[in-house]
Chain A
């Protein structure tokens, strides 16, 4: 059982304050959806938790099972059990997917997996996400389509088995087929009950496939409304207009 606690988090980029006091608790087995208009700070929350150097924490706290996440380096956070599926996964020339995945799995698990077992595990994971076998030899994210990048993020999620997974607009730019495959991956993962999921999205579309326990509406750098799945339905019907007006 793990708990990610975010308390009164304020984050700036350069000197501009983007997050203005975020409070949120995510536990294993829970699926939280954070929804909000563009520019509301959703992605900033994701990257700040992951430790991207562009974001400065000006006040507040983030803990994972009581440990101070903000005191950790980016890689320490990942090894502690945080995972960020990125909206725009970075292309790294000359580094193969297979090499990258084996290196990451070794780092997170603390020991190198046996090659034979790892190959099998990788193949199963790729099959489940309908990823072609040739993928493993390609350069990391280089020339990947939008759908391939997102499937690859979910593959990493399944291999690294984090305590808390943050999915930053994993659904954007996907066609319906890719969205279904990716959603199945998230559900498979969520059903195991060991992971808390923070699903950041602009659209309600993915919520037809992934059922959140909690829905949070994000506007103006903070959570402005919280509820159950019914809140997503309301957003689908009414849009974000009322929140953007209120925060302006």
Chain B
């Protein structure tokens, strides 16, 4: 690459609360080229007026407070500024935001479960803010179900020395469309663990991103998806290392089966000049179980400093390994069962990382249900 041709940078050129700062995408933009815009039901071009409802209900841990606030609440938009058209559309269109606060030094004794349920395939916009104050610890579950055309932004503000574990389940009905931005801003020595599980929906485009506000931040982003015929499941990750001595680890794995099953995984990691001592690794693996399924996997690692502790990425998409099934079959295990064992094994190492037993069981059961299809 010549000196005068710069590579496409993962650092967003535009971030703004103003919708007009983002032109309507044509589908040729790097950021949109994998997404079938015609299936977004107008979320990207301003034509999607509110016509539906996503009911947000929170079951908080006793130590945690929950508020429903208006657009003018100062905590809204504090940790995150929209970086794409749909995110800005959601930001300018939601009416009420949910603010979940874990007070300073509080250790939540149970998970805080946010249920988001669409009652019909109409358009809705949402906004959630999770504030974990310094040295506090909490687990938050976002549980998406039902039918909706839903765009939202979720801000996770993790204070100094605080720990937040998030599980986001996308178990939408088959006709749902969901475009979502999950942004975590980590304070000094903060720990953020995110586990994304996307199984349902016609089109889901989820963009988890992380920024660091102090040294010693640690982000662990895991994801599991199972894409069936006709589904478009897209995960776009961005980890922006702008502070020294922070760590990030990304591990997303998916299985695809059926015609026109389409998975997209984009993993952008930026290590800026000042982010010396960064340690990062990202991995994406896709298992193509049938013909007609397609996985696009694009890891991008931009390293602007020479002083990193570790920086690596790996991406592999392929079919079920014949040698695996042969070995199991050679021990008498019928093919279908051997196949299930291998796929279960492919996901098991990820699922083991979910610390909430109830959620772990539910995810395992959901994978089993997909395997039984």
Which residues of B in the span 289-330 have a Cβ within 8 Å of any Cβ on A? 321-324, 326-330
Evaluate contact between A103 and B349: CB separation under 8 angstroms: no
Q: Which residues of A have CB within 8 Å of B345?
A: 92-95, 139-140
Evaluate contact between B344 and A94: CB separation under 8 angstroms: yes
Count of interface residues, chain B, beta-carbon cutoff 8 Å: 24
| B333 interface residue per 8 A CB criterion | yes
| B142 interface residue per 8 A CB criterion | no
| A21 interface residue per 8 A CB criterion | no
Chain A 6-22 interface mask (CB, 8 Å, partner B; 1/0)? 00000000000000000
Evaluate contact between A103 and B342: CB separation under 8 angstroms: no
Evaluate contact between A90 and B331: CB separation under 8 angstroms: no
| B273 interface residue per 8 A CB criterion | no
Query: Which segment, of A72-80, A111-119, A180-188, faces chain B?
Result: A72-80
| B34 interface residue per 8 A CB criterion | no
With A93-B349, A107-B337 already in contact, the answer to whether A78 and B329 are too (CB < 8 A) is yes
With A93-B349, A94-B348 already in contact, the answer to whether A160 and B324 are too (CB < 8 A) is no
Evaluate contact between B333 and A104: CB separation under 8 angstroms: yes
Interface residue from A50, A75, A93 paired with B335 (Cβ < 8 Å): A75
Q: Which residues of B have CB within 8 Å of A99?
A: 341
Evaluate contact between A160 and B331: CB separation under 8 angstroms: yes
Evaluate contact between A52 and B331: CB separation under 8 angstroms: no
| B107 interface residue per 8 A CB criterion | no
Expressed in whole angstroms, the Cα–Cα distance for A73 and B345 within the complex equals: 23
| B281 interface residue per 8 A CB criterion | no
Write the chain A residue with the least CB distance to B341.
A95
Q: How far is the CB of B373 from chain A (nearest CB, A)?
A: 20
Q: Which residues of A have CB within 8 Å of B322?
A: 53
Expressed in whole angstroms, the Cα–Cα distance for A18 and B330 within the complex equals: 22
Evaluate contact between A84 and B330: CB separation under 8 angstroms: yes
* B residues at A contact (CB < 8 Å): 321-324, 326-335, 337-338, 341-342, 344-349
* A residues at B contact (CB < 8 Å): 50-53, 73-75, 77-79, 83-84, 86, 89-90, 92-95, 99-100, 103-104, 107-108, 139-140, 156, 160
